[in-house]
Structure 1
Amino acid sequence: MRIKISNSSIYISTIVTSIMLLCSSCGDKNKKENLERDSDNTAGVTKANDVIPFFQHWNLILGDGSNAGQAVDYEHKDFFYTTNDDNSDWVVFKTPNGGDTHGTSNNTRTELAQVKKWYPKTANDKLSATLKVMNVSATGDARVASTYSVVVGQIHSANGHENEPLKIFYKKFPGHEKGSVFWHYEINTEGGDNSGRWDFSSAVWGHDFSVVGAEANTYPEEPEDGIALGEEFSYQIEVKDGMMNLYFSSKGHETKTFTKNLVESEYTTTDDMPEQTRKLFVPIGQDGVERSTAYSGEGLFFKLGCYNQTNGKSPEENQNWCSGAETHGGDIQKQYADGNYAEVWFKTADISISDAAVSNEGYFLKND
């Protein structure tokens, strides 16, 4: 812009005043932008729904036990944010060993929970994801089956006992390069007392849940066909006409498929218990049977994220689920500093929801 200077001093004065006002306005604008940026340090940064555009279908539960709602244009520096590994954008789910939990669980989670539920007999619903696990707890008791593991995908019941017909685990012992991927079916216990419920574990790559250490700080053999931290793998869960179909794939590994009936039980008597259950669960009094119709008639919903299975509770309370790990009294930053947390990165995910799905609001009202 050219400025013509007149011989009249009033013109110069007017121009100087205008420039000062303009600079003041720019300064105020910059100050406002800086304040906005300080209040939201993610300004201009890729958000989770830019990477995986499906967050309207979920509520996000954070590692402090709170429900953040639908995570559109949302992130939390301690639990849920995006990153780039120089090849791809990823959504990061992170949660400590110890802290406030959601519902009745002993374990922290940063996890998406579906806002709709569907019924297995009429279902035609699907969830798929590609991910890599970046960290599991640095401490724990190797004799406890859940120690050093994280659940990265689930099907959960919104009704009855609120049991889980599917949990997909990743588990790696300290000092091992490779960990294991396995999945669980939890029985939908017959009757009103759910204390006898138990899980049955199926290996995908590496070991299943039952492979533990002989002592608190000794570990089993490393799995030859396991998955390393930072190694990508994918899963797909499909439930249709009462059947659950699972698909697992990873570059350099055999693709695995599984099928499980969700509406007709195969565990209706104590004689039906698998040997694995007799070894892990019966000794601690979890020796129930499943109702004949399994999860039929109950609303089910998907979960996806980072559900840390390592906690600070004493193994004397439960030899399968209480890890005795370091929690620093629930101090999140101290746990993050010395590796006592779980962290999972998701690159892609997709959900397909049937027309028969209905609101899952009741589950959140009960558990939030």
Structure 2
Amino acid sequence: MTASPAFEGLTVVELAQGVAAPYCGMMLAQNGADVIKIEPIGYGDWSRGLGRREGDFSAESIVLNRGKRSLALNLKSEEGQRAALAILERADVVIENYRPGVTTRLGLDYERVKAVNPSVVYATVTGFGESGPNRDLPATDTVMQGYTGFMSINRDAAGVPRRLNMLAIDVSTGLYLAQAVATALYRRAVKGEGVHIRTSLLECAMAFQESRIVAEVFDGAAVKPVGAPVGTFRTADGYLSLNARRDNHFRALTDMLGHPEWREDARFASEQQRIVNAAALNALVKPFIAAEPTRYWQEKLADADILHAKVHDYRELMEDPQVCHMEAIGWAEIPGIGKLPATRLPGLPRPSERAAAAATPPRVGEGGRAALADLGFTPERVAALEACGAVRFCD
């Protein structure tokens, strides 16, 4: 891929904290947009404190803010609000995720921005939506994993619903939002029209789980085996993900394990019967897999063309020969932190081909002075904003 980035020349203003909307902003930045992140003076975006914070960075914020410039602006002050409106007047895209009513109070809502920037693509993300009984309730990834049923399909052995240990709802919301922004930008290019995109964590979480929601009605349960033997099996030295549900794969596996008679068992004679009796079949397979190391099964299953994978942890994944060959994970130098992994977005150049700036996140206020200059703010106006405490820079 040698073409210039698709969004090169676009100015995106991110009035957003947390994960979902900033993830969208990061995707636009990786596609060449100039993303200016407006965040609070001092502590900055609260995602900088998710988990361990070192300086201005956490693991989450490093990923969410790659390739952006940070403008630390006091939106509680009149000077800061006037500056923000002047910035939004020049933006191609605005992304905001404040609670309903906040941007109106700040004078930065869509109608106000549209009045001075008619072709703007303005994207709003809320938790539960902009209206309804839960409109004003706080919403986070953990809240939405529970509220939207996501935890219910991820139960432990005792049947207790569990949170998936990553921000799956937030990230998927960022993906959906980036898709909606890209569509709106195409519409603007073709028809010259701006638009107000409205979505929520609630809607995106449900879209993300649509097949399970349909299964609840179609199958009578959202959580049912997709086949058998399918699942995670302990090996002599680790874990193996195995999927031998198809007839040809089941036949090969039973031959491999020395039990071709399983195919004649009425419980296992067809794919549908194996689903009904999945627990019994998986229990038969379990001790065989546990008797040998993972590598043994990788070789045997690969020879038989049966679907399988070693269950990696992240350290193993980063050293995996296929991952290394694909350059799916590169390394980025973060000032004051050192080198950290940097995955690439699918479809974009490998990390080795990207400019270092695309993989580097800003500190709070880093790049803000240059961003204001690029937006037409005179040195005198920037100095006045700085003098009254409406803006703060770190470079």
TM-score (norm 2): 0.22
Structure having the higher strand fraction is 1
Greater fraction of residues in helix: 2
